[in-house]
Amino acid sequence: FISQKEWKGEKIEVKPRSVICFKATCTRFDPPSFTLDVECSKGFYIRSLVHDLGKALDSAAHVTSLVRTKHGPFTINDCLTEDYFTLQNIITWIKLTRKQYPELARYLDKRKQYIQMNK
Protein backbone atom coordinates (compact mmCIF):
# COMPACT_ATOMS: atom_id res chain seq x y z
CA PHE A 1 0.00 0.00 0.00
CA ILE A 2 1.20 3.46 -0.84
CA SER A 3 0.45 4.94 2.59
CA GLN A 4 2.46 2.19 4.34
CA LYS A 5 5.48 2.89 2.13
CA GLU A 6 5.14 6.62 2.77
CA TRP A 7 5.15 6.04 6.54
CA LYS A 8 8.41 4.14 6.13
CA GLY A 9 9.87 7.13 4.30
CA GLU A 10 10.18 5.29 0.98
CA LYS A 11 10.05 7.35 -2.21
CA ILE A 12 7.03 6.44 -4.26
CA GLU A 13 6.27 7.21 -7.87
CA VAL A 14 2.57 6.81 -8.53
CA LYS A 15 1.72 6.58 -12.20
CA PRO A 16 -1.35 8.62 -13.13
CA ARG A 17 -4.37 6.66 -14.30
CA SER A 18 -7.86 7.55 -15.35
CA VAL A 19 -10.34 7.48 -12.51
CA ILE A 20 -13.78 9.03 -12.14
CA CYS A 21 -15.37 10.85 -9.25
CA PHE A 22 -19.08 10.44 -10.01
CA LYS A 23 -20.24 12.41 -7.00
CA ALA A 24 -18.69 14.17 -3.99
CA THR A 25 -20.88 15.69 -1.30
CA CYS A 26 -19.85 17.45 1.87
CA THR A 27 -22.27 15.93 4.39
CA ARG A 28 -20.83 17.62 7.48
CA PHE A 29 -18.77 20.76 7.95
CA ASP A 30 -17.55 21.59 11.44
CA PRO A 31 -14.28 23.52 11.00
CA PRO A 32 -11.64 22.37 10.87
CA SER A 33 -13.27 18.98 10.16
CA PHE A 34 -15.55 17.92 7.35
CA THR A 35 -17.14 14.72 6.08
CA LEU A 36 -17.30 13.76 2.41
CA ASP A 37 -19.53 11.19 0.76
CA VAL A 38 -17.77 10.16 -2.46
CA GLU A 39 -18.98 7.88 -5.25
CA CYS A 40 -16.01 6.96 -7.43
CA SER A 41 -14.55 4.46 -9.85
CA LYS A 42 -12.09 1.69 -9.12
CA GLY A 43 -8.60 2.95 -8.38
CA PHE A 44 -9.71 6.28 -6.93
CA TYR A 45 -7.64 7.25 -3.89
CA ILE A 46 -9.73 9.15 -1.35
CA ARG A 47 -6.62 10.05 0.62
CA SER A 48 -5.16 11.70 -2.50
CA LEU A 49 -8.38 13.65 -3.01
CA VAL A 50 -8.27 14.95 0.56
CA HIS A 51 -4.56 15.80 0.24
CA ASP A 52 -5.26 17.71 -2.99
CA LEU A 53 -8.16 19.58 -1.34
CA GLY A 54 -5.81 20.74 1.39
CA LYS A 55 -3.24 21.91 -1.16
CA ALA A 56 -5.92 23.74 -3.17
CA LEU A 57 -6.85 25.65 -0.01
CA ASP A 58 -3.19 26.52 0.68
CA SER A 59 -3.42 24.36 3.76
CA ALA A 60 -3.22 20.70 4.66
CA ALA A 61 -5.82 17.98 5.04
CA HIS A 62 -5.75 14.33 6.04
CA VAL A 63 -8.16 11.44 6.44
CA THR A 64 -9.15 10.52 9.99
CA SER A 65 -11.75 7.91 9.07
CA LEU A 66 -12.58 6.01 5.90
CA VAL A 67 -15.53 3.68 5.36
CA ARG A 68 -16.10 1.83 2.09
CA THR A 69 -19.87 1.63 1.75
CA LYS A 70 -20.00 -0.05 -1.66
CA HIS A 71 -17.73 -2.29 -3.72
CA GLY A 72 -19.02 -3.56 -7.04
CA PRO A 73 -22.55 -4.88 -6.53
CA PHE A 74 -22.13 -5.10 -2.75
CA THR A 75 -23.13 -2.41 -0.26
CA ILE A 76 -22.29 -2.11 3.40
CA ASN A 77 -25.75 -3.59 4.11
CA ASP A 78 -24.63 -6.85 2.46
CA CYS A 79 -21.75 -7.27 4.91
CA LEU A 80 -21.65 -9.75 7.74
CA THR A 81 -20.90 -8.04 11.02
CA GLU A 82 -18.41 -9.59 13.40
CA ASP A 83 -21.28 -10.92 15.55
CA TYR A 84 -22.26 -13.18 12.63
CA PHE A 85 -18.78 -14.54 11.79
CA THR A 86 -19.62 -18.22 12.03
CA LEU A 87 -18.74 -20.83 9.45
CA GLN A 88 -22.42 -21.55 8.77
CA ASN A 89 -23.29 -17.86 8.26
CA ILE A 90 -20.34 -17.40 5.91
CA ILE A 91 -21.27 -20.50 3.88
CA THR A 92 -24.90 -19.33 3.68
CA TRP A 93 -23.77 -15.86 2.55
CA ILE A 94 -21.50 -17.32 -0.14
CA LYS A 95 -24.31 -19.55 -1.46
CA LEU A 96 -26.73 -16.60 -1.63
CA THR A 97 -24.12 -14.40 -3.27
CA ARG A 98 -23.33 -17.01 -5.92
CA LYS A 99 -27.04 -17.19 -6.82
CA GLN A 100 -27.57 -13.41 -6.85
CA TYR A 101 -24.42 -12.57 -8.79
CA PRO A 102 -23.72 -15.28 -11.38
CA GLU A 103 -20.92 -13.17 -12.90
CA LEU A 104 -19.14 -13.25 -9.53
CA ALA A 105 -19.60 -17.02 -9.33
CA ARG A 106 -18.05 -17.39 -12.81
CA TYR A 107 -15.15 -15.15 -11.78
CA LEU A 108 -14.53 -17.17 -8.61
CA ASP A 109 -14.91 -20.47 -10.45
CA LYS A 110 -12.26 -19.40 -12.97
CA ARG A 111 -9.80 -18.60 -10.24
CA LYS A 112 -10.76 -21.41 -7.88
CA GLN A 113 -10.61 -18.95 -4.96
CA TYR A 114 -13.78 -19.96 -3.19
CA ILE A 115 -14.90 -22.51 -0.69
CA GLN A 116 -16.01 -25.66 -2.48
CA MET A 117 -19.54 -26.52 -1.40
CA ASN A 118 -22.48 -28.58 -2.59
CA LYS A 119 -24.08 -26.53 -5.35
Q: Give me the pLDDT at residue 117, please.
A: 52
CA-to-CA distance for 78 and 74, rounded, in angstroms?
6
Q: Give me the pLDDT at residue 65, please.
A: 95
Which DSSP state fits 69? -
Q: Give me the pLDDT at residue 6, please.
A: 73
Q: Print pLDDT tens along the chain (119 aa).
A: 566 777 788 877 777 889 999 999 999 999 999 999 999 998 899 999 999 999 999 999 999 999 999 987 788 888 888 888 899 988 888 888 877 777 777 777 776 655 555 45
Asked if 38 and 53 count as a contact pair (C-beta separation under 8 A), the reply is: no
- Dihedral angle of Cα 102, 105, 106, 110, to the nearest 10 degrees: 180
H, E, C per residue of 24-39 = EEEEEEECCEEEEEEE
CA-to-CA distance for 89 and 34, rounded, in angstroms?
37
pTM: 0.62
CA-to-CA distance for 44 and 21, rounded, in angstroms?
8
